[in-house]
């Protein structure tokens, strides 16, 4: 099946990358955390497990009451050598001049390993917890202005003024600059029209939650169209996130998947909050979650290994669709997304630490090897095509000489 989609990928292959989770405690949808919200030792152990098992980057997420991800990320960056950081940040919690300096300082601490994930916020109630009263569409407009300001601060060495709809300041210049030149990458997520417009214009990496291949292809087209509409000649790289459930046999993997969803449902029935950002049992306001619920209502299984009951059981929480099977099956399922144009694969299990190790040991090497093969094949095809064109030109030249 994948072979027919090879042509969809862009001409210059990017290496495939793996994003894991930088949780600050061991809690997940299936298990309440065993200690404090910021468990320093666990934070480091989990990040180190990612670094030691082939992952490229980890996400420090943002929630209104959660530990501040920026100092947690600085801690990890100072203790580990290679692992890159994706720092989630909500514009409503700090002025862009301040945030740009935090990011530049963190890029210095991490020696150029920072990417910033700008979060608009999909839920009014959660945003209101930290004083944000804008509507979602207004928030997207603010995020867009915010990202533009941060990019400008990162790259401008002369004082400048800004007069925008959401921010006004004068004579500002930062004295701290990122290591990465010209600047760290901007990551962005959301599935509403306002999200595509803002992210299509500003993002280097556009993040989607795992959906079936057809719906993912549709979202990729929306992102590309938005980038083009914004006058860009490039397109954001695409990242897609899943919850892999792997085991040595298909049968064991499916048993594990059913146990997982059973544990989530049991916690919800007891009235426990299985996800932090969700507002009880209310219908989600963000399009991304509404899409996940609609897809789950349409069916439980899609494509090679996608399974939706984990999304249904969490009320369409962010990144909640599972990929179930042996490491080989899950790797092949991920490669189907690679063939669609996705080159950053995000994954997180339900036992965060053990699953990060297993996925890194058993799935990542298969995907990397297959991606290298596909890229080599494509390069050979391109070379053959160039040879044919050169030969064609040679014949034409000869014809011109002799004609």
Ligand X SMILES: Cc1cc2nc3c(=O)[nH]c(=O)nc-3n(C[C@H](O)[C@H](O)[C@H](O)COP(=O)(O)O)c2cc1C
Tell me if 120 sits within 8 A of 195, measured CB to CB.
yes
Quote the crossing angle between the two packed helices 136-155 and 193-202, to the nearest 10°: 10
**Residue 209 or 362 with smaller CB distance to ligand X:** 209
The residue (of 85 and 253) whose beta carbon lies closer to ligand X is 85
Question: Least distance to ligand X from the beta carbon of 28, Å?
Answer: 15
Q: Which residues contact 71 (CB under 8 A, 6 or more apart)?
A: none
Q: Which residue is nearest to ligand X (CB)?
A: 189
Q: What's the min distance (Å) between Cβ of 73 and ligand X?
A: 12
What is the contact surface with ligand X in residues (CB under 6 A)? 61-62, 88, 119-122, 189-192, 195, 207, 209, 241, 277, 286-288, 318
Distance of closest approach, residue 47 Cβ to ligand X, in angstroms:
16
**For residue 160, which of 151, 170, 150, 148 has the smallest C-alpha distance?**
170
Q: For ligand X, which is the closer residue by CB, 62 or 154?
A: 62
Q: Which is nearer to ligand X, 122 or 315 (CB)?
A: 122
**Residue 196 CB, nearest approach to ligand X (Å):** 8
Nearest distance from residue 128's CB to ligand X, in Å? 13
- Enumerate residues 6+ apart whose C-beta is below 8 A from 137: 192, 194
Closer residue to ligand X (CB): 92 or 326: 92
Nearer to ligand X, 122 or 178 (CB): 122
Distance CA 288, CA 284 (A): 9
Hey, which bits of 121-218 come out as E strands? 160-163, 168-172, 185-189, 205-209
CB of 241 to ligand X, least distance (A): 5
Q: Indicate the angle between helix axes 69-79 and 40-52, nearest 10 degrees.
A: 50
Measure CA 125 to chain center: 24
CB of 266 to ligand X, least distance (A): 25
Contact 22, 72 (CB under 8 A): yes
For ligand X, give the closer residue by CB, 195 or 323. 195
3-state secondary structure of 114: strand
């Amino acid at each position: 099946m994948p072979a027919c989609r090879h042509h969809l990928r862009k001409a210059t292959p990017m290496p495939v990358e793996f994003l894991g989770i930088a949780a600050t405690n061991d809690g997940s949808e299936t298990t309440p955390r065993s200690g404090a919200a910021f468990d320093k030792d666990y934070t480091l152990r989990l990040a180190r497990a990612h670094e030691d098992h082939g992952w490229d980057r980890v996400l420090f997420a943002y929630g209104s009451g959660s530990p501040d991800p920026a100092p947690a990320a600085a801690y990890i960056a100072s203790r580990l050598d290679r692992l890159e950081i994706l720092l989630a940040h909500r514009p409503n919690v700090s002025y862009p001049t301040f945030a740009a300096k935090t990011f530049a300082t963190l890029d210095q601490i991490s020696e150029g390993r920072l990417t910033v994930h700008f979060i608009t916020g999909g839920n009014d109630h959660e945003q209101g917890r930290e004083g944000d009263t804008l509507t979602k569409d207004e928030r997207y407009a603010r995020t867009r202005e915010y990202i533009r300001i941060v990019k400008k601060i990162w790259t401008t060495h002369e004082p400048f003024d800004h007069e925008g709809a959401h921010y006004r300041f004068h004579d500002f210049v930062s004295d701290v600059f990122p290591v990465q030149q010209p600047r760290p990458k901007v990551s962005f997520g959301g599935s509403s029209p306002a999200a595509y417009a803002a992210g299509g214009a500003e993002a280097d990496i556009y993040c989607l939650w795992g959906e079936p291949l057809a719906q993912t292809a549709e979202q990729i087209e929306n992102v590309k169209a938005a980038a083009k509409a914004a006058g860009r000649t490039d397109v954001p790289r695409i990242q897609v996130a899943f919850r892999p459930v792997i085991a040595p046999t298909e049968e064991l993997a499916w048993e594990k998947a059913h146990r997982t969803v059973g544990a989530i449902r049991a916690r919800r029935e007891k009235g426990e909050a299985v996800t932090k950002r969700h507002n009880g049992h209310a219908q989600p306001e963000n399009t991304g979650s509404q899409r996940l619920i609609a897809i789950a209502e349409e069916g439980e299984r899609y494509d090679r290994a996608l399974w939706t009951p984990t999304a249904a059981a969490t009320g369409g929480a962010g990144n909640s669709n599972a990929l179930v099977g042996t490491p080989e099956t899950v790797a092949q399922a991920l490669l189907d997304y690679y063939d669609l144009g996705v080159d950053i694969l995000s994954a997180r299990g339900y036992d965060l630490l053990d699953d990060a190790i297993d996925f890194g040991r058993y799935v990542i090497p298969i995907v990397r090897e297959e991606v290298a093969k596909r890229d080599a094949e494509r390069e050979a095809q391109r070379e053959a095509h160039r040879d044919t064109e050169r030969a064609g030109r040679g014949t034409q030249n000869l014809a011109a000489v002799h004609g």
